[in-house]
């Protein structure tokens, strides 16, 4: 079948809850993917950071193949031989004590919300049904009914009410706004160290450390959603390390599954996660042996200092060279490590059109908020591959400038 045939079938039988670029991918290796007509593309999105290690990572695949032949799923009705090892491995890596595994990032956020509420009632002694969680404007934590209840994105939120109560929204990057929003019923503050879906929105320096102090003083949980920023994406294992602001609750996903299996987790102290009793929370697939095996293999590679250093170096090069172009179309180039965005003047460039032009030249990226394009290649990208990507982006920018 042709690209057009495959897209037509998907459009006919699949719900239209995404607007993908017109390319049909069929295989991938490293930073490269191929479409069904064997055209090669450099992946500068990495499945929104799920492919931090690149496509078809040989070490992760080998572990997955071995585990597929042994045991894939038991449910939590029984123990399996890998769950405890995975929890131990991840807790030690995070410098924490306990892990609650789930599958998707949204499930992990929902788990963190339930954790904060139960902790508020049982430990902080907030009156039942009164717990409040503070969140940030322009947040993106998932698309479940509860999560869209505190979204400020009208596309994600509209027509999905009635909305779940118990959330207070404050401006992102503003410690004073957080401090003023705290009440005796506040149990937690949920925040992204960098707001990815908002367009790689960066907080001011020192924001997370200020947040940590405010949460400690107000006796509320500091919960960091590192589903997209964590596990090397910003040049450190966790983004909060840039601000020396270790959270009380760490939420992980995406890259934790090595790009081949959905794995997420909430990581915290025993005093916090230990509040759960049997039957109060769970997941059929959460903590399954295949996911545990894959995640431990992914962590073995993601913890590599050379990989983190490469993310830092390549990200600095990306931002520096694009800024040096001084394109009149570009409002700002920003990011950290290999989580970056180019914001265009909205009256000059449409982000979707820019991504389509990049696609034609063999580079995959995706727009957000109409005039912002996010660039987040696998952390394994080489100097040569980054140079090629920058040349393509520069070429497309010059073409857009010439065409007015």
Q: What does DSSP say about strands 339-344 and 25-29: parallel, antiparallel, or unpaired?
A: unpaired
Token couple for 269: 């102290």
Q: Which residue blocks in 330-380 are alpha helix, DSSP H?
A: 351-360
Rounded Cα gap, residues 337 and 208, in angstroms? 17
CB 243 within 8 A of CB 208: yes
Rounded Cα gap, residues 80 and 72, in angstroms? 10
Rounded Cα gap, residues 183 and 107, in angstroms? 27
Could you confirm whether 254 is annotated as catalytic?
A: yes
Which one-letter DSSP state was computed for residue 191? E
Rounded Cα gap, residues 129 and 117, in angstroms? 9
Smallest Cα–Cα separation from 376: which of 332, 326, 325, 336? 336
3-state secondary structure of 67: helix
Token couple for 219: 């006796």
Token couple for 386: 């980054």
Q: Which of 43, 86, 140, 261 is catalytic?
A: 140
Cα Rg, the chain, nearest whole Å? 21
Rounded Cα gap, residues 97 and 246, in angstroms? 14
Rounded Cα gap, residues 245 and 174, in angstroms? 16
Segment (H or E) for 176: helix 175-181
Q: How many CA atoms lie within 13 A of 68 on its CB side?
A: 8
Q: Which of 118, 212, 236, 254 is catalytic?
A: 254
237: CB partners within 8 A, 6+ apart:
93, 230, 231, 302, 303, 308
Q: Which of 225, 238, 248, 318 is catalytic?
A: 225
CB 236 within 8 A of CB 194: no
Residue indicated by tokens 């005093």: 271
Segment (H or E) for 309: helix 305-324
Q: What does DSSP say about strands 363-364 and 40-43: parallel, antiparallel, or unpaired?
A: parallel
Which residues, listed in sequence order, are joined to residue 99 by a DSSP beta bridge? 267
Residues involved in catalysis: 140, 225, 254
């Amino acid at each position: 079948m042709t690209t057009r045939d495959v897209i037509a079938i998907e459009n006919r039988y699949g719900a239209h809850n995404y607007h993908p670029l017109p390319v049909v991918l069929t295989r991938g290796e490293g930073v490269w993917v191929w479409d069904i007509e064997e055209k090669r593309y450099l992946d500068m999105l990495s499945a929104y950071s799920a492919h931090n290690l690149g496509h078809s990572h040989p070490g992760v695949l080998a572990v997955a193949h071995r585990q597929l032949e042994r045991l894939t799923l038991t449910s939590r009705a029984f123990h399996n031989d890998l769950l405890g090892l995975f929890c131990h491995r991840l807790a030690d890596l995070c410098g924490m004590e306990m892990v609650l595994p789930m599958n998707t990032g949204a499930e992990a956020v929902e788990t963190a919300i339930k954790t904060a509420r139960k902790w508020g009632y049982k430990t902080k002694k907030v009156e039942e049904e009164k717990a409040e969680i503070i969140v940030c404007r322009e947040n993106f934590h998932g698309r479940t009914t509860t999560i869209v209840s505190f979204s400020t994105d009208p596309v994600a939120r509209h027509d999905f009410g009635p909305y779940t109560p118990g959330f207070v929204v404050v401006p992102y990057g503003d410690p004073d706004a957080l401090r003023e929003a705290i009440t005796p019923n506040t149990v937690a503050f949920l925040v992204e160290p960098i707001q990815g879906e908002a367009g790689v929105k960066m907080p001011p320096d020192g924001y997370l450390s200020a947040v940590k102090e405010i949460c400690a003083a107000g006796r509320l949980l500091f919960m960091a959603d590192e589903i997209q920023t964590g596990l090397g994406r910003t040049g450190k294992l966790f983004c909060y390390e840039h601000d020396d602001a270790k959270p009380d609750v760490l939420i992980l996903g995406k890259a934790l599954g090595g790009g081949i299996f959905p794995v997420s987790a909430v990581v915290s102290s025993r005093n916090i996660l230990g509040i759960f009793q049997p039957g109060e929370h769970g997941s059929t697939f959460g903590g399954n042996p295949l996911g545990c095996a894959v995640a431990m293999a992914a962590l073995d590679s993601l913890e590599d200092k050379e990989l983190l250093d490469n993310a830092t170096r390549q990200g600095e090069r990306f931002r520096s060279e694009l800024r040096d172009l001084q394109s009149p179309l570009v409002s700002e180039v920003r990011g950290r490590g290999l989580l970056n965005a180019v914001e265009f003047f909205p009256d000059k460039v449409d982000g979707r059109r820019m991504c389509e032009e990049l696609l034609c030249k063999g580079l995959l990226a995706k727009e957000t908020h109409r005039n912002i394009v996010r660039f987040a290649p696998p952390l394994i990208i080489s100097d040569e591959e980054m140079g090629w990507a920058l040349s393509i982006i520069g070429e497309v920018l010059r073409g857009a400038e010439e065409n007015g």
